[in-house]
Amino acid sequence: MRKLLPVILVFLAVSCAAEESSEGFSVVASDFPSYDAARAILGGKGGVTMLLPPGTESHSYDPNPRDMIKIAECDLVVYTGGASDEWVRTILSSLDSPPASFALTDQVQLLWEEQKEGMETEDGHQHDHSEHEIDEHVWTSPVNEAVIIRNLSDVIVSLDPMNEDIYRSNAEEYIARIMELDAEFRSIVENSERNTLIFASRFPLLYFVREYGLDYYAAFPGCAEESEPSARTVAFLIDKAKELEVPCILTIELSSELIARTIAEEAGCDVRVFNTLHNVTASDFRSGKDYPELMGENIEVLKEALN
Ligand SMILES: [Zn+2]
């Protein structure tokens, strides 16, 4: 990111001469959760651009000069606001007249990334609480997502009041779909035999498990750089899976299932993928799959994992 700044500034100087887009209200989103929220509220009104390419890893994305120009020229930037897209803040602060901005992590009560028993630490050492990062995956709780949609719709209405009725009704419909999901998850947890999920991967679901009162074990905290977990971590997860007799080991989308298969084979259970909506595949992006659909795919997974 930093190495790109000189290039960026040159491009921005050039872009100042470029004409403003006249195609209505425009939003630039850093990643999928931001894109999905803005798209839901705008409906067909205005345009939303996602900078992260579909199907790619969201934590290591580096913006290119074209992204800077898009940010400089749009009406509103929506971004997560954590470590994975901190480059958005850098770009905004480099602009003389930055567009309005909205960070998902500014909307809800934040949690620290958690170092749980058995987890791999990023560098093999234990950390002080002060060295931990804020967990940026606020959208993984449907309750948080509903708050995000409501707050974002307020911001969009304030910037484009002519279309207030459309934005408000789009937001209300979306929130209703999200809260249906919330009710489903709540009922699954209430009626389940178990309370603990085992993830053989990173664990970006702290907001989800806290919302529904679930317990968990995982190989890595938050979205720590995923390398091979140590033999110790794998052994710990195998023991937990056997002890709790879990029906499946979970892993997250766009991640290697190899470790999960190893643990599942040892513990004699299945592997299932829990979608955390970091990004979507290119085909899901083209077909316009949204938060309620993608999060809804987790209903069966959760049912299976807890029973
Ligand atoms: Zn993440």
User: What percent of the chain has pLDDT above 70?
Assistant: 88
Query: CA 56 to CA 172: how far, in whole Å?
Result: 30
Report, as an integer, the average pLDDT of 20-27. 71
Which pLDDT value is given to residue 10? 45
Q: Are residues 169 and 196 in the same domain?
A: no
Q: What is the CATH number of the domain that holds 251?
A: 3.40.50.1980
Distance 127 CA to ligand 1 centre (A): 19
Q: Which domain holds residue 30?
A: 2-107+138-173
Rounded to 5 degrees, what angle do the CA atoms 45, 279, 98 make?
Answer: 55
- Mean pLDDT in the chain? 90
For the entire predicted model, the pTM comes to 0.90
Q: What are phi and psi of 82, to 5 degrees?
A: -105, -160
Band (pLDDT 50/70/90 cuts) for residue 255 is confident
Q: What gap in Å lies between CA 38 and CA 79, rounded to an integer? A: 10
Are residues 154 and 75 both part of a single domain? yes
Distance 278 CA to ligand 1 centre (A): 6
Clarify whether residues 9 and 156 are in a common domain: yes
User: Bridge partners of 103?
Assistant: 79
Separation between Cα atoms, residue 56 and residue 268, nearest integer Å: 32
CA of 279 to the centre of ligand 1 (A): 10
Burial tier of 263 (Cβ tally within 10 Å: 0-12, 13-18, 19+)? buried
**Mean of pLDDT values over 116-144:** 78
197 and 83 in a single domain? The answer is no
Number of structural domains found in the chain: 2
Cα(91)–Cα(81) distance, integer angstroms: 13
Sign of CA dihedral 62, 65, 70, 71: positive
pLDDT at 11 over 90: no
- Between the CA of 277 and the centroid of ligand 1 the distance, in Å, is 9
Residues 49 and 163 in one domain: yes
Same domain, residue pair 9 and 58: yes
Q: What does the pLDDT look like over 51-67, one tens digit per residue? A: 999 999 888 899 999 99
21: Cα within 13 Å, side-chain hemisphere: 16
Kindly state whether residues 248 and 297 are assigned to the same domain: yes
- Shared domain for 100 and 208, answered yes or no, is no
CA of 269 to the centre of ligand 1 (A): 26
DSSP 138: G
Taking the alpha carbons of 202, 204, 206, 211 in that order, is the dihedral positive or negative? negative
Specify the DSSP class assigned to residue 21: P
Can you give the pLDDT at residue 152?
A: 98
What's the residue count for the chain? Answer: 307
Same domain, 169 and 231: no
Cα separation, 216 vs 258, whole angstroms: 20
